[in-house]
């Protein structure tokens, strides 16, 4: 036998019946986005590496060590599998001048790639749902996108998801804070680990993000960006907060919540659960008013978030949310291959009427015994078996047998009326 080939480490197959959860979630997302007039955007999975170096940021974990990059063998171009979708969406918006006639509300769902150590809730190919509201400067859109995430979690029946919010102000405020931060960290140099030593010069804000327990106390007492915010920035933050409150979204301020990149401004936020261990951030986002310019576009305010779909599904499982089992409405039993033409034509009529039908599939030499077929019908979970027996068909009849409720009840129905029967199933 030939050697087996396995999937790449950290990349998952999503198979039935689990894939039903994905479809269920995706359906909810589509409905929700339409309710707030957010429109689907799809950008390529492969982009020029430079897009992420500039748009995700040279000093981020993603660009420093997590990207799948390669050279196009044909023309030597440097390419990368997207680790996130915001740079791609902004690139597309600039390339197609998308905001020429006003703001655009967009959302995406799709695979992202990061070379991380695989563990629960952390994969090398994972899926993100995200929204990007482009061309809107006001705090009400920050609140609007946060409401979208909140509403989605509610629709999915998730409990105990916390909302943390902070403000990064504007560049001048951040510079003043950055200077104070560097001075503070220099006073505590002996406590800084190697990562922090390095970041002190490149990106001191990221030190606040540290997961090193030995640095926690020192980081807790570091100067807070919040106390460097001017009136306009505070007003922006307070408006977001009061709009969330008005819509029934509880939030807390986390002054250490940061995004270590200069193109972020004002609102940053995370949706967090304590039920998934260290991988508890379900959704992270913020305002990135500076990104369009970094990517060569005109100054354009923008705000968005990204959500890890695997983590959300993991939490749904963890919290024991039950989904309806996967089963067709009816299972078609075809005792004799000779009746396949009329059976299959009838099934098509049923499917067009909206009934989900699973047809029995036989072996190369025939359809198999009635007993086998009924067993399969039972284990399929279908509510009804449709029996296309030769004798009934000779009189233009089909037998319908209830497999679940009213177990065993059986009647015959004129073939011409199956669509009418099907209509009764929809209720």
- Count residues contacting ligand ATP (CB under 6 A)? 18
Least CB distance from residue 241 to ligand ATP, whole Å?
A: 21
Least CB distance from residue 80 to ligand ATP, whole Å?
A: 15
> Could you tell me if 36 and 104 are in contact, meaning their C-beta atoms sit under 8 angstroms apart?
no
> Could you tell me if 85 and 128 are in contact, meaning their C-beta atoms sit under 8 angstroms apart?
yes
Strands 68-71 vs 78-81: parallel, antiparallel or unpaired: antiparallel
Strands 384-387 vs 357-359: parallel, antiparallel or unpaired: unpaired
Stretches 115-123, 241-249, 349-357, 402-410: which one binds ligand ATP (CB under 6 A)? 115-123
Could you tell me the two tokens for 16?
Answer: 């039935």
- Applying CB under 6 A, does 123 fall inside the site for ligand ATP? yes
- Applying CB under 6 A, does 306 fall inside the site for ligand ATP? yes
- Applying CB under 6 A, does 111 fall inside the site for ligand ATP? no
Structure letter (DSSP) for residue 375 = H
205: closest CA among 161, 250, 258, 141? 258
| Residue numbers 264-293 binding ligand ATP by CB under 6 A | 279, 281-284
Least CB distance from residue 229 to ligand ATP, whole Å?
A: 23
H or E segment and range at residue 125: strand 125-134
> Could you tell me if 115 and 65 are in contact, meaning their C-beta atoms sit under 8 angstroms apart?
yes
Chosen residue from 26, 116, 336, 378 binding ligand ATP by CB under 6 A: 116
Stretches 71-79, 93-101, 303-311, 382-390: which one binds ligand ATP (CB under 6 A)? 303-311
133: closest CA among 167, 86, 97, 100? 86
Cβ atoms < 10 Å from Cβ of 65: 10
Strands 281-287 vs 78-81: parallel, antiparallel or unpaired: unpaired
Name all contacts of 395-400 with Cβ < 8 Å and 24+ positions apart: 398/346, 400/330
Least CB distance from residue 128 to ligand ATP, whole Å?
A: 5
- Applying CB under 6 A, does 29 fall inside the site for ligand ATP? no
- Applying CB under 6 A, does 128 fall inside the site for ligand ATP? yes
Binding mask 228-267 for ligand ATP (x = CB under 6 A): ----------------------------------------
Q: Closer to ligand ATP at the Cβ: 114 or 174?
A: 114
Chosen residue from 47, 144, 173, 310 binding ligand ATP by CB under 6 A: 310
The binding site for ligand ATP (CB under 6 A) comprises 84, 114, 116, 121-123, 126, 128, 279, 281-284, 306-308, 310-311
């Amino acid at each position: 036998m030939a050697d087996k080939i396995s999937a790449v480490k950290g990349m998952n197959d999503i198979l039935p019946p689990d894939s039903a959860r994905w479809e269920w979630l995706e359906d909810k997302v589509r409905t929700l986005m339409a309710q707030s007039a957010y429109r689907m955007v799809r950008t390529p999975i492969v982009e020029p590496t430079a897009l992420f170096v500039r748009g995700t940021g040279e000093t981020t974990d993603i660009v420093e060590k997590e990207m799948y990059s390669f050279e196009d063998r044909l023309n030597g171009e440097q390419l990368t599998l997207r680790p996130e979708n915001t740079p791609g969406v902004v690139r597309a918006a600039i390339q197609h001048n998308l905001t020429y006639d006003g703001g655009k509300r967009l959302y995406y769902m799709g695979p992202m790639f990061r070379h991380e150590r695989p563990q629960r809730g952390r994969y090398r190919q994972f899926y993100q749902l995200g929204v990007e509201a482009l061309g809107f400067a006001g705090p009400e859109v920050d609140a609007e996108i946060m409401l979208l995430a909140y509403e989605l979690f509610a629709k999915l029946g998730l409990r105990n998801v916390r909302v943390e919010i902070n403000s990064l102000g504007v560049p001048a405020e951040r510079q003043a804070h950055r200077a104070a931060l560097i001075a503070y960290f220099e006073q505590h140099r002996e406590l800084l680990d190697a990562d922090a030593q390095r970041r002190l010069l490149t990106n001191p804000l990221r030190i606040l993000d540290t997961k090193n327990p030995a640095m926690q106390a020192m980081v807790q007492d570091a100067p807070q960006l919040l106390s460097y915010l001017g009136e306009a920035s505070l007003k922006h933050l307070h408006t977001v907060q009061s709009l969330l409150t008005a819509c029934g979204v509880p939030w807390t301020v986390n002054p250490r919540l940061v995004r270590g990149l200069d193109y972020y401004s004002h609102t940053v936020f995370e949706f967090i659960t304590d039920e998934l261990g260290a991988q508890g951030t379900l959704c992270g986002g913020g305002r990135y008013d500076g990104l369009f310019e970094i990517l060569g576009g005109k100054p354009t305010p923008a705000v968005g978030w990204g959500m890890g779909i695997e983590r959300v599904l993991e939490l749904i499982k963890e919290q024991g949310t039950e989904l309806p089992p996967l089963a067709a409405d009816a299972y078609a039993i075809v005792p004799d291959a000779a009746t396949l033409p009329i059976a299959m034509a009838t099934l098509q009529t049923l499917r067009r009427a909206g009934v989900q039908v699973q047809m029995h599939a036989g072996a190369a030499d025939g359809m198999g015994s009635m007993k086998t077929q009924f067993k399969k019908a039972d284990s399929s979970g279908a509510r009804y078996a449709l029996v296309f027996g030769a004798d009934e068909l000779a009189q233009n009849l089909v037998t319908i047998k209830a497999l679940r409720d009213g177990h065993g009840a059986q009647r015959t129905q004129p073939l011409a009326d199956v669509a009418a029967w099907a209509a009764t199933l929809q209720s």
